[in-house]
Amino acid sequence: MRIGELAQRSGATPRQIRYYEEQDLLISARTHSNYRDYDESSVETVVQIRGLIDAGLSTRVIRVLLPCVHGPGAELPARPDPVISALLTAERDCLKDRIDHLILCLDQVQCYLDRVEVS
């Protein structure tokens, strides 16, 4: 599929998709006329990226996370890189903190809404 369809189906803009490719989060084949050509799995990938970016992660971090975020069946690196592992461990801790904070925030917002609703 071409970039327009991928954009529609993933909820991103073509500009964003091109940017993600530029940042090495995504690759594309090319048609004979140099149009980007995507397969079905790209939709899922772009949705993933959008979710992570919306969650506040940078493309730099996503670049590292993404290969590990394709389900428990994803390919493992032949020789696991300790630098990557350290980076991911740090990022995991960061994610935990972020999640805790958001949950706290969510609870408080919900609490507020409950009180307003009832009154």
* Residues of the shown chain interacting with a second copy in the complex, contacts defined by CB under 8 A: 51-52, 54-57, 65, 68-72, 74, 76-77, 80, 85, 88-89, 91-92, 95-96, 98-99, 101-103, 105-106, 108-113, 115-117, 119
The nearest distance, CB 81 to DNA, in angstroms, is 22
Of 54, 56, 51, 42, nearest to 14 by C-alpha is: 42
The nearest distance, CB 73 to a second copy, in angstroms, is 10
The nearest distance, CB 119 to DNA, in angstroms, is 31
* Spatial separation of the C-alpha atoms in residues 67 and 69, rounded to whole Å: 6
Binding residues (CB under 7 A) for DNA: these are 2-5, 13-16, 18-20, 23, 31-36, 53, 57-60
Query: Taking a C-beta distance cutoff of 8 angstroms, is the pair 25, 49 a contact?
Result: yes
The residue type of 24 is D
Distance, CA of 24 to chain centre? 13
The nearest distance, CB 72 to DNA, in angstroms, is 26
Is the CB of 18 or the CB of 68 nearer to DNA? 18
Is the CB of 35 or the CB of 112 nearer to a second copy? 112
Burial 19-47 (b: 16+ CB within 10 A, else e): ebeeeebbebeeeeeeebebeeebbebbe
